[in-house]
Structure 1
C-alpha cells in the first residue's frame, strides 16, 4: 500500500477483530498473574498497533455492535439466533478495549438498531464521496459487497502472516463473480450459518457460484427456475421466499443514521501515561513500547537507553576473550522477536583456563541463572552435554562438556565453587531437574534457590509454566526450538551432541539468558503479591526434599505383581464368560459400541439411553452405576472394568517403570500441576494407586522395603475437616475435635438428635458423606445419589447440618464474597487461588468458581501444612544423621523407608513433626503404621 497517499480512513470491525484475537490464542491463552484471560484484549490491541505502525493512517475509527435487536430482527426473528454465548473472556475484554481506545484518542462508534457492518458501510460510502480511500479492517467476507475502487477490505494476517487487501479485482477473482455487489446474491443463495441467514434450500457454495455465473442475481434465478431439474428445482422453488428474505438480511446498509465529520476521525497521539497505566494493569509489558514506536516521529528513539546495542553472536558463537571485561556489555532495550533479531552476546568456553576466569567472575555476582543440557530426561542415566550461565540480560556463557568422564570431571570441579556457594541466588527453570543431574555428577547446588517455573506457578497457578511459553508471554521473545536442532520427540530424536558447538551455544546460553530475565520479572512480583515468604520458606526448600525423594525411589515386588497379573487374567476370563451367558451371546467387551448395542438394543435396559456424538450408546461408569439395580449383568461389567484397569494400569504397567539403574521406581513430584498447591506424582503416578476396593488396595502390597528395612506410613487424620473447623472457627466442630470425639459419629448424633452411643453405622456413614461433601460444595442431588436418600431427605439433612454448624455456612458465604471482591482466595500461608469466573453470568461456571472459593483454602492449606512437615522432617533426619528416607507423598500421607534399628525413633520424629508443622487450635492427628510393605504399613 502506498503510505504517501492522503486521506486514508481505516474502519475497524471491533468484534470481528476481538474474536479473532481471542481464538488465535485459544490454545495458549494469555493470563495475568491473577489469572485473568487477556487474549482478546491483547490480540485486538496488538493488531491495532501493528496496523497504525505499518500503515500510518490519517483517519481511524473502531466500530462496535451496540447490542440488542436490529432492523434485521424485525424481518427475521431468528436472525443470528444460532450464535453461541459470548465467551466470558470477551465480555471482560470489551470494557478494557474501550478504555484503551479512549486513552489512544481513537473514536468508538456504534448506532442502536444497526450492526457494525451497517455503520462501516455508511461511513465508507460517505467517506468515499469526500475523496477518501477507505479500508475496512475485518476478516468478514460480507464486506466484499461494499468494495469499490476506493473502498477495500483490509484483512490482517494470521500468526504473523501477510495482510490481504481485497479490491474490486481481488473480490471478483476470489468469489468468481462479475461485480462485488453480487456477494449479496451469493450469500442469499447459499445462506450464512454464522448469521443464521437461511438461503435457498439445497444450495451450497459451489452451486451458488454456478447460479451467479448463469443468472447474475437471485431474482433472475427465481424467475428462471424452469431451467432447473429434479429435486434441486423443487427445493429452490419451495424456498424462493426465504431466498429473497436472505438477500435483504445479507445486504449491508449504507444509510445508517451517522454523519461523517472527518475531523472526528483524525489519528492523534495517545495519552501515553493513561495507556501505560492500563497496560501495566493488564501486564502487557512490551506492548507499550510497540505502541510508542507506532506514534513516534520518524528518527526519534523509543528509549534513550537504546543508544547502545550489544554485540550479536550469530550464527557463529565466539570463544571467551580472557582479556575482555565481563561487564562491558549493555543489555538491549529494544523489543526483538528471536535469536536472529535480538541483541545478545552468547559465548562458549572451551578450555579449563577460560573456565577458571569465568568462574572467578561468576563468584562475584549476587544472582546467577544456570541450565544443564543432557543426553536424557532421566536424571539417573543422563550425561552432561553442557552447562550455561547468565547474570545479565543478553549475556550468557556456555561450557560444552567432553564425553570423556575424566575430562568432564575436571571442568565440573572448576565449576563446583559456583554451584556450592552459599551466599548467592541460584536461578533455574525447573530447578529440581538440574539439581538431580548435578547431584548425580557429585555436585551439590547450594545458596538461595529461585525456580522461575515455580515462581510463575505461585503468581498464576492456573496458567502454563513452560519456559518457551513464558518467554513469549512475558518477554515477547521466541526461543530456539529444541526440535529444530535435534528433531521431534520420539525414538529418532537426537541430542545436542549431534549439533555443532555454535548451535549448542545459541540454544543453551539462550535458556540461561531467558531464565535470568524471567527471574528479574518474577522476583519483584512475588514480593508485591505477598508470595515471597511462601516461595522462599516453603516451595524452594521443598525442591531439594523432593529431589532426594525422587532419587531414592521405591522397591517393587516383581514376583507378586507377576502372579497377580496371572490371577487377574483368570478372573477376567471368568467374568467375561458370566457376562456372555447373561447377555446370551459373545461380543467384544472392550468395544463400547458393541456393549451399548447389547445393553440397550438387545436387552432394552434403558429405553431413554443416551448416545454419544458419534451415535453409539454411552456406557460410562456413572451411566452403568445408575442401571446397577436393573440387571445382574451391570454389576459384572463394572467389576470387569475395575479388574481390567487394575491389571493394565498398575499390575502390568508398574514393572515396566522399574529403572535399570537401581531396580527401583522413581516417580516425579510436580509442584506446578495442581492449582490448589497439592503435589502431583507423574511418570508413574503413585498417588493414584487405588484404595476404594479390597482388590485395589492389595496393589500397595507390591511396594516393599529393602532388606533390613521397613516402610513407615504417616497419615494425617481428617486434616481437611480439622482445617475447615480451624479456619471457619466453628465452635461445635472445634469442641468435638478437641475432645477427641469421632467427628462423624458426633455429627450424626447432632443431625439425628440422638446420643452418640446410639448412632448406627448407616447414620455415621451418612454424616461422613455430608462432612466431606460440604467441603466440596455438594448439594442435595449429589448427596441423595451417594447416600440413597431421597432429594428432599438429602436437602433436610444439609439444612440440619448448617443448623448444627452455623459458622460453616457463614464461612462459605464470606469466602465467596471475598473471591468476588478480590478475585482470589487464600490458604493459611497466603497461597492464592485466582477465580476469574466468580462473577460469570453463566450459573454453571459461576457455581464451579464458588465451590472452589470454599474448597481451595482448605485443600490448599492442607497441602501447605504437609509441605512444611516434609521440610522439617527432612531437616531433622539430616541433622540427626539418620538413614531413614522419605519416599512418597500421597496427599495427606507420607511414606518412609527406615532401617529396623531406627523404626521407633523415626516413627516418633515423623509423628511429632507432622502434628506440630503449623500451630492450630484444633489438634492435627497423625496415624503412623509400620510394615514390610505399603499395605501393611498403611
Structure 2
C-alpha cells in the first residue's frame, strides 16, 4: 500500500449478528435451511461495495477485507480465565450459517481473514497500523466501542446501519475522552458483555471525569487515596489490580502475526458469475437479479454453485469465547447450544436438540440484578446492543394497558443474566398525594428516556411474552418498540389447537413448565388475592426483582427453544406475515379506541328495560304464574314439569336443562313460551352486556372505549375481543343495530365500515374448486339465488324469498359442517327433508363433498389442517373413539381452512393498511376496530371519498402476492356518522 490508498476493514462478526437481527428469519425453500443471516450479510455487503465503488457517494476504497473471529481460546483467556466466560452461545438457527457466510465472502471475491488465538479486533488493529505506516487511510466498518481506541487522523469508523462516520470528535462526544484514552476508560468501566471486571461503581461518565482530572489510569490508581468520595476511593484502591488486568484485556494487539499482508487486499471488480452461482445456491432471487444487472451477467445461463452446509462446530461460531470451549453458559450449566453443535445438519434436528437440552439449564433467581441507577441501566442497555437482542417485560398496576401505571421493567440479554428496574414501588406509608416511594429508584421519565433509543432501534430484537400488552403500555408512555418477537405468538403458530380438547396453554407459566421444566414464581404469591390483594407497586423490591427478572429470563430461554421450531416446521412465513406484524397494528388500534355516545346508551337501556318488563308480563301470563325467569331451575320446572313440553333432559345436578339450544329447539317447534323466553334473554343480555356496561368502559383520559384484542385465543387465527367484547353485538336484530348506532364519529369526522362480502363462501369456492360457485362470484351473481336455482331448478328471476333463504342456510351451514338435524331446526322443516337438501347440494356441487372428505382424511392422518397461507389448526381428537367428540372435531377441521384463510386474509390487509394510508397521504385516517370480516375506520369528512378506494384495494388484494385466489374478493365500504349507518 502507499499514500493515497484507502483500506476498508469490515468487522465480519459484528456484521453477522447485525444481519441476523436486522431481518426477519428466512429459510431456504428447497430444504428449510436457515439463511436469514446469510441473506442480510450478502445484502449489506453488496450495498457497501456498491456505495464504495460509487465515487459520487463518498470514500472509494482501494483495498478491502472482511475480518472474522476465530472461535477458539485467545491469549486473553491465559491472562484472565474468566474473560468472556458469561457469553452465551449464538442463536441456534444462526449456527449453520457461519460457514455459509464465510463462503459468501469468498463468493464476493473478498479476503476472508481470521487467525487462531486472536480476535477479529486484534487483526483489524494490526492491519490499520500497517496501512497507516504505509501512509494510507483506513475505514473500519463497525460501531463497536472496542475499536474506537484505534481512531486517529488516518483511521476512522463507519456505522452502516446508521450511515454515520465516527472520527475523533464523535468518540469524544460519545464517551467524553479522546480515542487514545478509550483503553483506560474501558479498564475502569469494565465490560459486562466480555466479562471484563473493571472497577465496581465506575460508569463511563465517572471514568471520563477521573481521566480528565488525573490524566491516565496509572496516575489515577497511584493517587486514588486523594479521592474524596469514600465508596469510589475504596473501590479504586481495592480493585486497582483488576483495573490493570482489564486494561490489558481491552487493549487491542497491533502486532498480531497476520499471514496475509495488506497489499493482498486490493479491491478488484466483482466476479459476477461466481457471486451469482452462490446466490442461486442460497435461493436469493432478488439479489441475484441485482448482481446480474450490475455486472452484466446473464443469470439464466449460470448454474447454482454446490455449497456444503457444515455442522455447527467450533469453527463456525465467531467470538464465543471460553464458554464455547468449556461448554458452559452464564449459569455454569452445559449450554443448549454447545450440546447440539455436533451433528446438527437440519433445522428439525436443531429444534429437537434444543428442546431436549433446555430443561437441563439451571434457573438461579439469586443471580438476578436490581438496577437502581442510570449508569447501571446504561450498561445493561449497552449489553443489549452488543447482544443484538433483549427480552423485555413490564410490571404494572393493572391488566388494562390504557390505564395501568408502570411499576418497573425487566431486561435479559442472555440466559441467566436478567435484571429488574423498579420505578414506582411504595413502602405502604404514602399519603393521598402519592408519597411513600421507596428510595433508590430511577425516576420513570429518566428510565424511559434511557431505553427509548434501544426500544426503537430496529437492529436490536426485542423479545416478549404477550408483548402486545407491553407494546401498548410503552406506546402510551411515549416509547415505541420496534422489531419484536413474541414467544406467545410463536407458540400459537406452532401449536394452536393441540393438547387435551385443544387447550394447550400459550401463557408463560404453561410454556415454561412444558419446555423448560421450570415452574415460575406465581403472581399471587407476591400480590395475594381477593380482598387482601395488593398492586405490584406495593410488592417488596427484592421479591419483585426475583419475579420480574425471572419473567424476562424465561421469555428469552423460551424464545431460544421455540424460534428454531418455526423453521423446522416450515411455519416461518406464517409467523412473520400473519402474527408478528399484528403486535404494533393491534396495539395502535387499541390505543386509538372508538367514541361512544353515553346518551344513546342511556336511552337504549331505558327502552330495553321497558321491553323486558312487558315481555315478563307476557311470560307470566303464558306460564300461568309468576316465577324467577332467570332461574334455570324454576324455568325448567315450568316448561317440563308443569307444562310437560317435549325434549326435556336433566343435567348432572338433577335439574332440567334450559340451555339456549333447548329453548331454541322448542321455539322452532312452535311453543310460544320458550320463544318469549329466548327473546327476553336476548333483550336483557343486550341491556346488561352493552347499554349498561359500555359507559363503564369509557376511558376517563381519552373519553373513548378501548377494546382488547386477543391474538392467540382461537384455533383458526380469528381475533377475539374483550373488555368490552365488540365482536358479539348482534347485527341481524334491530336491537343490536341500535347499539351499534351508539358508536359514533367525532365532529368533522366519519366512521367507515369496510366489510368483505361473503368471504368464507368465496374461499370455499377457491379451496374446493367449485366451477359453478367460482363463475357466479366472477360474474357478480347473487350466490344464494344461484345455489337455489341449481338445487331446486327454480329460475333466479322471480325466485320466492323462502327458496333463496333455504339455499342461503345451506350455503353457510355447509361451511360449518351442519347436520340434517341442525338444518332442520334452522329452517323449521322435517329432518328427512333437510337431509334430502344436503344430499342434493352435494350432488350438484360434488367438489364440496370431495373437499370435506379430503380434509377429514388429512386431519386424521396428520392431526391438523392448513389455511391457504399455511397456518395450522390442530385437531388431535379427530381420531377419538368418542363418536360425538370425533364428529365435533371433523366439523371443526372442515371449517378451519375456510374460516382460517378468511382470518388470514384480513390480517394481511390490516398489516398493510397503516403504511398504505400513510403512502397515500391519508395518515389522519385511523383503523379502529376489526370485527371478523369487517374493518372500521375513522376519517376526516374531506378524506372519505379518497380513502374508501384505498381501503378496498388493500383488502381485496390482501392475499397477493402469496396466493392468487381463483375467486375475486369484494369489499363493501360505506361512511356515516355512526357504526350502524356505516355498516
TM-score between both structures, scaled by the size of structure 1: 0.63
C-alpha displacement at 1:878, in angstroms?
3.1
Instruction: Output the CA distance in 2 between the equivalents of 1:501 and 1:859.
Output: 47
Instruction: Output the CA distance in 2 between the equivalents of 1:341 and 1:757.
Output: 72
- Which of 427, 432, 435 is the matching residue for 2:471? 435
Instruction: Output the CA distance in 2 between the equivalents of 1:611 and 1:347.
Output: 58
The aligned counterpart of 1:785 is: 825
Deviations 1:243-264 (A, max 9, x none): xxxxxxxxxxxxxxxxxxxxxx
**Does structure 1 residue 385 correspond to structure 2 residue 407?**
yes
Instruction: Output the CA distance in 1 between the equivalents of 2:763 and 2:480.
Output: 37
Distance 1:491 1:749, change over 3 A: same
Asked if the contact 1:344–1:394 (Cα under 8 Å) also holds between the matched residues in 2, the reply is no
- Give the match's secondary structure for 2:387: coil
Deviations 1:654-694 (A, max 9, x none): 11111212121111111100111000101111101112321
Deviations 1:698-718 (A, max 9, x none): 111111111211110010000
- Which of 356, 359, 363 is the matching residue for 2:378? 356
The aligned counterpart of 2:560 is: 520
C-alpha displacement at 1:338, in angstroms?
12
Instruction: Output the CA distance in 2 between the equivalents of 1:737 and 1:790.
Output: 31
Deviations 1:466-519 (A, max 9, x none): 11111111101111122112212x454223332333222211111111000000
Instruction: Output the CA distance in 2 between the equivalents of 1:851 and 1:510.
Output: 42
- Give the match's secondary structure for 2:741: helix
- Give the match's secondary structure for 2:482: coil
- Which of 539, 548, 558 is the matching residue for 2:588? 548
Distance 1:483 1:801, change over 3 A: same
Q: Identify which range, 646-655 or 355-364, moves more after superposition.
A: 355-364
The aligned counterpart of 1:394 is: 416
- Which of 768, 772, 775 is the matching residue for 1:732? 772
The aligned counterpart of 2:636 is: 596
- Which of 617, 621, 631 is the matching residue for 2:660? 621
- The equivalences for 1:469-868 within 5 A come to 469-488=510-529, 490=530, 492-606=532-646, 609-628=648-667, 629=669, 631-868=671-908
The aligned counterpart of 2:189 is: none
- Give the match's secondary structure for 1:909: helix
Instruction: Output the CA distance in 1 between the equivalents of 2:670 and 2:780.
Output: 43
Instruction: Output the CA distance in 1 between the equivalents of 2:768 and 2:358.
Output: 50
- Which of 910, 919, 928 is the matching residue for 2:951? 910
The aligned counterpart of 2:981 is: 936
**Does structure 1 residue 366 correspond to structure 2 residue 401?**
no
Instruction: Output the CA distance in 1 between the equivalents of 2:576 and 2:627.
Output: 58
- Give the match's secondary structure for 1:369: strand
**Does structure 1 residue 333 correspond to structure 2 residue 333?**
yes
C-alpha displacement at 1:339, in angstroms?
12
Asked if the contact 2:788–2:807 (Cα under 8 Å) also holds between the matched residues in 1, the reply is yes
C-alpha displacement at 1:413, in angstroms?
1.4
Instruction: Output the CA distance in 2 between the equivalents of 1:570 and 1:431.
Output: 44
Asked if the contact 1:331–1:344 (Cα under 8 Å) also holds between the matched residues in 2, the reply is no
- Give the match's secondary structure for 2:806: helix
- Give the match's secondary structure for 2:822: helix
C-alpha displacement at 1:391, in angstroms?
1.7
C-alpha displacement at 1:340, in angstroms?
10
C-alpha displacement at 1:531, in angstroms?
1.1
C-alpha displacement at 1:548, in angstroms?
0.5
**Does structure 1 residue 897 correspond to structure 2 residue 938?**
yes
C-alpha displacement at 1:426, in angstroms?
1.1
The aligned counterpart of 1:411 is: 447
Asked if the contact 1:458–1:531 (Cα under 8 Å) also holds between the matched residues in 2, the reply is yes
Asked if the contact 1:668–1:682 (Cα under 8 Å) also holds between the matched residues in 2, the reply is yes
Deviations 1:859-883 (A, max 9, x none): 1000000000111112112333521
**Does structure 1 residue 450 correspond to structure 2 residue 485?**
yes
Q: Which structure 2 segments of 5+ residues have no match?
A: 1-191, 193-198, 204-242, 250-319, 324-328, 335-356, 426-436, 498-503
Asked if the contact 2:395–2:407 (Cα under 8 Å) also holds between the matched residues in 1, the reply is yes
C-alpha displacement at 1:402, in angstroms?
5.0
- Which of 972, 979, 983 is the matching residue for 1:927? 972
- Give the match's secondary structure for 2:725: coil
Distance 1:338 1:483, change over 3 A: farther
Asked if the contact 1:557–1:702 (Cα under 8 Å) also holds between the matched residues in 2, the reply is yes
Instruction: Output the CA distance in 2 between the equivalents of 1:562 and 1:572.
Output: 15
The aligned counterpart of 2:432 is: none
Instruction: Output the CA distance in 2 between the equivalents of 1:614 and 1:496.
Output: 41
Q: Which structure 1 segments of 5+ residues have no match?
A: 1-310, 312-317
The aligned counterpart of 2:66 is: none
Number of matched residues?
A: 619
Distance 1:811 1:626, change over 3 A: closer
- The equivalences for 1:248-259 within 5 A come to none
Distance 1:681 1:321, change over 3 A: farther
Asked if the contact 1:388–1:396 (Cα under 8 Å) also holds between the matched residues in 2, the reply is yes
Distance 1:896 1:320, change over 3 A: farther
Distance 1:907 1:619, change over 3 A: same
Q: Identify which range, 407-416 or 615-624, moves more after superposition.
A: 615-624
**Does structure 1 residue 873 correspond to structure 2 residue 946?**
no
Instruction: Output the CA distance in 1 between the equivalents of 2:591 and 2:459.
Output: 26
Instruction: Output the CA distance in 1 between the equivalents of 2:201 and 2:706.
Output: 39
The aligned counterpart of 1:30 is: none
Instruction: Output the CA distance in 2 between the equivalents of 1:364 and 1:600.
Output: 72
- Give the match's secondary structure for 1:612: coil
Asked if the contact 2:875–2:889 (Cα under 8 Å) also holds between the matched residues in 1, the reply is yes
Deviations 1:856-905 (A, max 9, x none): 11110000000001111121123335211111111000111111111112
Asked if the contact 1:396–1:512 (Cα under 8 Å) also holds between the matched residues in 2, the reply is yes
Instruction: Output the CA distance in 1 between the equivalents of 2:687 and 2:477.
Output: 37
C-alpha displacement at 1:631, in angstroms?
4.4
Instruction: Output the CA distance in 2 between the equivalents of 1:366 and 1:352.
Output: 21
Instruction: Output the CA distance in 1 between the equivalents of 2:200 and 2:696.
Output: 45
Instruction: Output the CA distance in 2 between the equivalents of 1:727 and 1:760.
Output: 30
Asked if the contact 2:922–2:943 (Cα under 8 Å) also holds between the matched residues in 1, the reply is no
Distance 1:881 1:624, change over 3 A: closer
The aligned counterpart of 1:375 is: 397
- Give the match's secondary structure for 1:350: coil
Instruction: Output the CA distance in 2 between the equivalents of 1:451 and 1:411.
Output: 23
Asked if the contact 2:810–2:823 (Cα under 8 Å) also holds between the matched residues in 1, the reply is yes
Q: Identify which range, 803-812 or 339-348, moves more after superposition.
A: 339-348
Instruction: Output the CA distance in 2 between the equivalents of 1:513 and 1:887.
Output: 34
The aligned counterpart of 2:117 is: none
C-alpha displacement at 1:922, in angstroms?
0.6
- The equivalences for 1:51-62 within 5 A come to none
- Give the match's secondary structure for 1:837: helix
